[in-house]
Amino acid sequence: MVGSRSWVIGFFNRYGNKRSGNDKYLDYPLSPLQEQRLQRLQDRLQVPFDETRTDHQEALRALWHAAFPNIVLRGLISEQWKDMGWQGPNPSTDFRGCGFVSLENLLFFARTYPASFHRLLFKQDGDRATWEYPFAVAGINVSFMLIQMLDLCSAKPKCLPGINFVKLLGEDEEAFDVLYCIAFEMMDAQWLAMHASYMEFNEVLQVTRTQLERELSLEDVHRIQDLPAYNLLYQ
């Protein structure tokens, strides 16, 4: 069930980035590889979705094909997009909240973990609510939550989860995209555990953020695959 645009941006405005408030996290060295990969990721975050760009149009078509391989898309503006959980017939309007990276995240999820992607898209597990969260718009919220949680808009993250994430990024350049998939799975698991409904999505996402911050603060996490919630993913 898809609601008004305020549903998309409600979480954005409600939960800002939480700082650790601890000076020991303010100055730490980055390896050349970590610095390079962090900069590449931050560059991705600056790219707005542009419906006039051919590569952005093709990425959107690719997402549809990955989601519904047996259904022909009638156009980039079509009522069909609502079946994926966009708010209206033109998904480009929803991307304005987070930019092209949120489409990249969804497409990575669909291509890398298709079984998990389709399970969440079609709400195949658990006792679902009558008013379910809209899949695609929820995905944009997950992207934005991660950017805020990891403090990626700063020159260097200044919170422990963000600092530890940069270490994971040094081990795997796809760490942000994989973390997105993990976070989406965690969010759905929390949704089911809380027996949540449409209007409780913000609360579910905040609980997901807290759990993910906790996992990213564990001392024995050296690779993205070491996160306990990584086991939620399956191809």
CB of 14 closer than 8 Å to CB of 146: no
- How many residues are recorded in the chain? 235
Instruction: Judge contact between 182 and 231, C-beta under 8 A.
Output: no
- Which 8-state DSSP code applies to residue 182? H
H/E element, 164: helix 160-171
How far apart CA 130 and CA 111 sit, in angstroms, is 29
Q: What is the pLDDT of residue 25?
A: 57
DSSP state at residue 111: H
Domain edges within the chain: 32-234
Of 63, 168, 188, 207, the closest CA to residue 116 belongs to: 188
Give this prediction's pTM. Answer: 0.90
The answer to whether the CB of 146 falls within 8 A of the CB of 180 is: yes
Instruction: Look at residue 12 in the predicted model and tell me its pLDDT.
Output: 46
Q: Note the Cα 115 to chain centre separation in Å.
A: 17
The radius of gyration of the chain's CA atoms, rounded to the nearest angstrom, is 17
Question: How confident is the chain (235 residues) per 10-residue block, as mean pLDDT?
Answer: 43 47 65 96 96 96 97 96 95 89 98 96 86 94 97 93 96 98 97 92 96 95 96 83
